[in-house]
Structure 1
């Protein structure tokens, strides 16, 4: 089990592996305490290296006070293995599905950052029973290739891909600094060096170029109206990678989504700037909120089960009352607890009574 991070103890994580249908391994790690928040894999990750990164270690330490952060490397990056599956939305959603199943958790909150916003949205739409909250940072609804790009925009994109192919894996290459300057223009020298090194460590030049091409082809517009969980969309006001207007477009496409701009020019908030603390506060507070559950959202069988739970009956009594096998009741209660957002019988009894059952 991971230790709880604090100011005086070393930050530790629980590192494990899951496997895709292709057999490729996916490295995933957990740290922190609180409600589970799964960070969908974004570009340039290395879950083991995060502990030593001036960029990501502060994230783990600060968010770890609010949530149990679960993160992983996408296929072909960090400690995860490659396969021949074409990169894109379906591949990214498969990775997310595999990791969430590996955690053994019935429900989790999701964090989708930048290009990882798309698979987070798609997963939340396809598996509403598994997602309590959705947080999106610096995301977009559809990439460049679906926006009728001009010839100049296409040439610029291809030039960037070529730069990656030629200079990505070299130590201290100017290509790395080019990306760092765009992503985190207000970084300290140490943070800039860390992102330069993260690029080199995360994946090969060939994989980085493939990821770039896959990101601009993403499109989740068909899934956005199907997102039903509480959603928070955050975006840096001066983001030079994904404009803040695309963040507003994303929030407007999800029913009831809350939108907030962060006072930063960095694509992701960095420790030392006010936007970083605001981001952590917003995410921690939002994920801790208990989703509203109305009586009308339950099936007739679930309503009957809730009434018995509210009366304080145990599993054997419920089994006898409903004429069901004990294991069937256990499975039904596990699903019901996930829907209620509770852990264990005492919380379930209190929640059922709050909803007027029993």
Structure 2
């Protein structure tokens, strides 16, 4: 599910990625879920590798952390890429009762799916990330979730990310920024991208013809995404 991302982004450059606290090969017992925790983790990764200044890519929920990091560590970030990103979590950005109800239902479905490991709930959650993928790919997404974090962490992080709000930091970003988003994104509405574009000072907004939140290797939008990222980093 991620191999084409790594291959595409690492071509002719060094790609450094890390597992967030609570996920993958990182410590699953580090339970901090604040923006300050995540910024400190990114600092630790950059310091350990010896990076002084570098371009930063934030995908989906990682976009909020990347935005905050670029705003609070302007001396370290040369360029910022926000892919399928948002400044406000779903519970924060809900503007009326219907949106609040939808956000609550979304959280309940995800929470029940994680707590019971019920495939039907988890499959619905997965379908929001790759709306146009075949069902077997949703099952791969579910299997990856089960392998890479605990149920407790999954629920805790989902709730924290639904309430995150870094939009007040957007105006402090000083580096050139590429905001790239699927027009029909089923997980994070395209309105989140246009709002970020209205807040970040020096940005370029690119909308892709896709309904997938996480782009698949086979869809036409994927090479377009790679082209825009390469062009932006080459400037």
If the length of structure 1 is used for normalisation, what is the TM-score? 0.61
Where does residue 139 of structure 1 map in the other structure? Answer: 85
Where does residue 121 of structure 2 map in the other structure? Answer: 175
Where does residue 110 of structure 1 map in the other structure? Answer: 56
Q: Distance in 1 between matches of 2:100 and 2:195?
A: 22
Q: Distance in 1 between matches of 2:97 and 2:105?
A: 12
Distance 1:127 1:185, change over 3 A: same
Q: Looking at both structures, which has the greater relative contact order when contacts are Cα pairs under 8 Å and sequence separation is at least 6?
A: 2
Residues 94, 100 of structure 2: 8 Å contact kept? no
Residues 58, 85 of structure 2: 8 Å contact kept? yes
Find the partner of 1:72 among 18, 31, 39.
18
SS in 2 for 1:181: helix
Residues 182, 213 of structure 2: 8 Å contact kept? yes
Q: Distance in 2 between matches of 1:85 and 1:173?
A: 25
Where does residue 96 of structure 1 map in the other structure? Answer: 42
**2:140 is aligned with 1:212:** no
Residues 166, 205 of structure 1: 8 Å contact kept? no
RMSD: 2.0
Distance 1:189 1:160, change over 3 A: closer
Find the partner of 2:184 among 201, 226, 238.
238
Give the C-alpha shift of residue 170 in structure 1: 6.6
Q: Distance in 2 between matches of 1:69 and 1:249?
A: 28
Where does residue 122 of structure 1 map in the other structure? Answer: 68
Which consecutive residues of structure 2, in runs of 5 or more, have no partner in the other structure? none
Give the C-alpha shift of residue 224 in structure 1: 1.0
Q: Higher Cα Rg: structure 1 or 2?
A: 1
Give the C-alpha shift of residue 79 in structure 1: 1.2
Residues 180, 196 of structure 1: 8 Å contact kept? yes
Q: Distance in 2 between matches of 1:265 and 1:145?
A: 22
Give the C-alpha shift of residue 95 in structure 1: 1.4
Q: Distance in 2 between matches of 1:66 and 1:171?
A: 40
Kindly tell me the number of residue pairs found equivalent between the two proteins.
Answer: 235
SS in 2 for 1:233: strand
Task: For 1:1-358, list aligned pairs within 5 A.
Answer: 55-83=1-29, 85-147=31-93, 149-168=95-114, 173-289=119-235
SS in 2 for 1:123: helix
Q: Distance in 2 between matches of 1:284 and 1:66?
A: 10
Give the C-alpha shift of residue 262 in structure 1: 0.6
Residues 172, 196 of structure 1: 8 Å contact kept? no
